[in-house]
Structure 1
Amino acid sequence: MTMIAATGLAKSYGAEPNRVPALRGVDVAIPKGTFTAVMGPSGSGKSTLLHCLSGLDTVDAGTVRIGDTEITALPERALTRLRRERIGFVFQAFNLLPTLTAGENIVLPLELTGRRPDPEHFDAVVTLLGLADRLEHRPAQLSGGQAQRVAMARALITGPDVVFADEPTGNLDRRTGRELLDLLRRSVDELGQTVVMVTHDPAAAARTDRVLLLADGRVVDDVAEPSGAEVLRRLDELDGDEYANQSADGTESVSR
């Protein structure tokens, strides 16, 4: 089953004569229950694609469907409700409310739509993310990794159709970032979650089922069952300067 289907996506920023195209006729199909990475050189359109697929940004042309709903046809109020109920977000910044406990931050999306958490699903998410002993802590009392796990629990608590993650390991150290990637992987394997992640890290991409490579606003490659080395090789072909000092495991290297 296809969870996300995008056809002919076009998006530009700015006004003429300085208008800059970010997406140029992008077609994407994401199967349900899969983990997909979106990668590419700086300015390739990867974050713009994530924002358009998730309804955070409008498109100039094309359509996006999540499940059986064409989100590009929805009025703003209906789109806001869809984002709250059917989409989860994990960003580089944790975006937790400092006055709420971890548990309160997790269930906030449900409260905003007047829903109560399902106890069994809540327990499954909290157990998956190892947060049972942190639910009464406020964000200031959490480490970066714990705060990002709370943000991930908040994204999963609604049982969303899809979770969009934008550089989710960007503010984490290497070990904690790997732990978060493990949890994203497990959410797909154990909860049947669909995850789409923007990343610049070949090691992170190697944890996914598929990598979409963008360049100049177009999908130029589609890598199934990626390895870090294969992703890095293909990225080097797109923009060798940007990735020249990065190794396949995400560390910096002096020579290649």
Structure 2
Amino acid sequence: MTTFALPPRNSGPEAFPAAPAVEAFNLSKGYGQADTRITALDNVSVSFQAGHFTAIMGPSGSGKSTLMHCLAGLDTADSGRIVLGGTDITALHDRQLTVLRRERIGFVFQAFNLVPTLSAQQNIELPLALAGTTADAKWFDYVVGTLGLKDRLTHRPHELSGGQQQRVAVARALLTRPDVVFGDEPTGNLDSRTGGEVLALLRRSSKELGQTIIMVTHDPVAASYADRVVLMSDGGLVGELPNPTAESVLVALGKLGA
């Protein structure tokens, strides 16, 4: 593996400044009108510390996916503020949000979202290509080496296993050194062994590369890889679990009726 000096954020959560990577203040979001209106987020305020791996959990309809989509600038809240890396993203117009998502946010989704006609390397570099820039060669080599993809760079998605495709998606998310990587059920399409490998890589990205990761999941085992679990129900925050285990998450979800 190529070695080089990592950027300053590389020594685990304890070495990070107190300033959060992303914060939500009094966030509210609803769908529908009058009697048919559904409250997805109900005055939510929450903070995510830089360099930490956080899982968001709750019953179906609890608002966890809506919260993540708002935090990532994929959806807009009805009221409240979201500050990401010191930028109030709720004050940005569409084009500014597009640039912010491309340059400062990484995404890892359940469906991988790889372009089938591109090689693994081209998929990894796609956000930079769209921005008209190129990857830092040493950082690219480090990310690819860490994720075990060096011998798969010329392969197209259909030539890769599900786990390898998700690793490509993780590499793509990390390549721009984003403020936050968001994961929406990132292991939902993987078997338990491959899913465990991907979760271990996300955790390693947090611990060793200083990456902030926010993941929505319904899986207590997946959540146990995180530093903290944020619990939601009926559009609001109802608690959190530091240093979660699969067992403690199961107990907490049971109390929520999940």
Which of 233, 237, 247 aligns to 1:219? It is 237
| Aligned amino acid, residue 218 of structure 1 | G
Is 1:197 the counterpart of 2:209 in the alignment? no
Which of 42, 55, 60 aligns to 1:42? It is 60
RMSD of aligned C-alpha atoms? 0.7
| Aligned amino acid, residue 97 of structure 1 | V
Is 1:108 the counterpart of 2:126 in the alignment? yes
List alignment gaps of at least 5 residues for structure 1: 243-256
Q: What residue in structure 2 maps to residue 232 of structure 1? A: 250
User: Identity percentage over the alignment?
Assistant: 60
Matches of 2:91 and 2:145, distance apart in 1: 37
Matches of 1:140 and 1:14, distance apart in 2: 40
Return the offset for 1:235: 0.5
Is 1:83 the counterpart of 2:101 in the alignment? yes
Is 1:57 the counterpart of 2:80 in the alignment? no
| Aligned amino acid, residue 61 of structure 1 | S
Match of 1:80, SS?
A: helix
Matches of 1:126 and 1:13, distance apart in 2: 41
| Aligned amino acid, residue 214 of structure 1 | M
| Aligned amino acid, residue 73 of structure 1 | A
Q: What residue in structure 1 maps to residue 16 of structure 2? A: none
Is 1:24 the counterpart of 2:42 in the alignment? yes
Alignment of 1:84-233 (within 5 A): 84-233=102-251
Could you give the per-residue CA deviations for residues 25-51 of structure 1, whole angstroms, max 9, x where no partner exists?
Answer: 001110100000000001100000000
Return the offset for 1:115: 1.1
| Aligned amino acid, residue 52 of structure 1 | C
Return the offset for 1:18: 1.0
Matches of 1:16 and 1:130, distance apart in 2: 52
Could you give the per-residue CA deviations for residues 56-78 of structure 1, whole angstroms, max 9, x where no partner exists?
Answer: 00000100000110001101100
| Aligned amino acid, residue 49 of structure 2 | P
| Aligned amino acid, residue 157 of structure 2 | P
Q: What residue in structure 2 maps to residue 252 of structure 1? A: none
Matches of 2:255 and 2:155, distance apart in 1: 46
Match of 1:133, SS?
A: helix
Moved over 6 A (4+): none
| Aligned amino acid, residue 168 of structure 2 | V
Query: How does the TM-score come out when normalised to structure 2?
Result: 0.92
| Aligned amino acid, residue 178 of structure 2 | P
Match of 2:195, SS?
A: helix
Matches of 2:255 and 2:243, distance apart in 1: 19
Q: What residue in structure 1 maps to residue 11 of structure 2? A: none
Return the offset for 1:15: 2.6
Matches of 2:198 and 2:245, distance apart in 1: 18
Matches of 1:184 and 1:64, distance apart in 2: 24
Q: What residue in structure 2 maps to residue 245 of structure 1? A: none
Match of 1:52, SS?
A: helix
Matches of 1:112 and 1:169, distance apart in 2: 26
Matches of 2:95 and 2:36, distance apart in 1: 31
Match of 1:63, SS?
A: strand
Deviates more, 1:34-43 or 1:223-232: 223-232
